[in-house]
């Protein structure tokens, strides 16, 4: 097994939830795409990120079945992990483009664009109870971000994410890219409660960018 570490991204206020992320700190140990795809499938996380150039922010992201040009939870998680390793960066560079990152207290932030997160459909439900009652996954095909207002005036949302791409990930515990898409479509900043207890923060900007933030907790070192 290739050396990797695991963090939980978008944990709730009391350490609940959080989406596990696999981090391969030495991307050169897995130098080609097919090998990275096989390792991501073997690890089984919703995403695994490979660090190709820590000082420059060069990264490569895989689900168990696909390579992604951009994803929120891997970039938030990696930015926090690099900072804790004593190698903080101000910009990460996945294939989609330059992604600024910074820290505010316990919250790690990145800034991205909804157009980088293609193929994610959002569907509003009338009540939180309807979202929570959905089977995993709901019938249908394609990435579904199911959501309802918990408190519309306060910008609080209850959401669940279903990749529905045919791999082992039936439901994502916390999904940064879909949160960016929803924020852009609603045109407002949000506090999102997703999965069993994850918390995602977003900030909407009129220039088309969205800030995405959350808490990150270390889990294990695996070798």
Q: Where are the domains of the chain?
A: 4-101, 116-212
Which CATH number does the domain 4-101 belong to among 3.10.310.10, 3.40.640.10, 3.20.20.70, 1.20.140.10? Answer: 3.10.310.10
Q: For residue 199, what pLDDT is reported?
A: 98
pLDDT of residue 221 exceeding 80: no
Average pLDDT over residues 105-127: 96
Cα–Cα distance between 157 and 191 in angstroms, integer? Answer: 6
Mean pLDDT of 193-213: 97
Alpha-carbon distances, residue 146 vs 29, 102, 153 (angstroms): 38, 29, 19
Q: What is the pLDDT of residue 168?
A: 87
Q: Band of the pLDDT at 137, cuts 50, 70, 90?
A: very high
Give the Cα separation of 43 and 21 in Å (integer).
Answer: 10
Average pLDDT, stretch 171-193?
98
Residue 223, pLDDT > 60, answer no
- Please give the pLDDT value at position 1: 73
Classify 116-212 by CATH class: alpha beta
Beta bridge partners of 220: 6
- Fold match between domain 4-101 and domain 116-212: yes
Closest CA to 146 of 167, 130, 168, 166: 130
Statement: residue 159 has pLDDT above 80: yes
pLDDT one-digit tens code per residue, 58-95: 999 999 999 999 999 999 999 999 999 999 999 999 99
What own/partner pairs with CB < 8 Å and gap ≥ 24 does 97-103 have?
97/70, 98/57, 99/57, 99/70, 99/75, 101/75, 101/76, 103/79
């Amino acid at each position: 097994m290739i050396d990797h570490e695991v963090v939980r991204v978008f944990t709730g206020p009391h350490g609940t939830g959080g989406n596990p992320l696999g981090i391969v700190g030495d991307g050169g140990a897995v130098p080609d795409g097919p090998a990275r795809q096989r390792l991501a499938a073997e690890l089984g996380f919703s995403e695994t990120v490979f660090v190709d150039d820590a000082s420059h922010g060069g990264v490569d992201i895989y689900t168990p079945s696909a390579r992604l040009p951009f994803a929120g939870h891997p970039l938030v998680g990696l930015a926090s992990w690099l900072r804790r390793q004593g190698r903080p960066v101000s910009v990460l560079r996945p294939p989609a483009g330059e992604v600024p990152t910074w820290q505010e207290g316990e919250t790690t932030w990145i800034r991205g664009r909804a157009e980088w997160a293609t193929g994610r459909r959002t569907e509003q439900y009338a009540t939180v109870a309807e979202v929570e009652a959905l089977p995993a996954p709901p019938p249908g095909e394609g990435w579904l971000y199911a959501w309802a207002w918990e408190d519309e005036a306060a910008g609080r949302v209850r959401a669940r994410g279903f990749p529905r791409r045919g791999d082992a990930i039936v439901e994502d515990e916390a999904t940064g890219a879909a949160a960016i898409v929803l924020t852009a479509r609603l045109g407002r900043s949000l506090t999102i409660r997703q999965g069993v207890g994850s918390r995602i923060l977003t900030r909407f900007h009129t220039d088309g960018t969205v800030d995405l933030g959350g808490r990150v907790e270390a889990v294990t070192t695996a070798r």
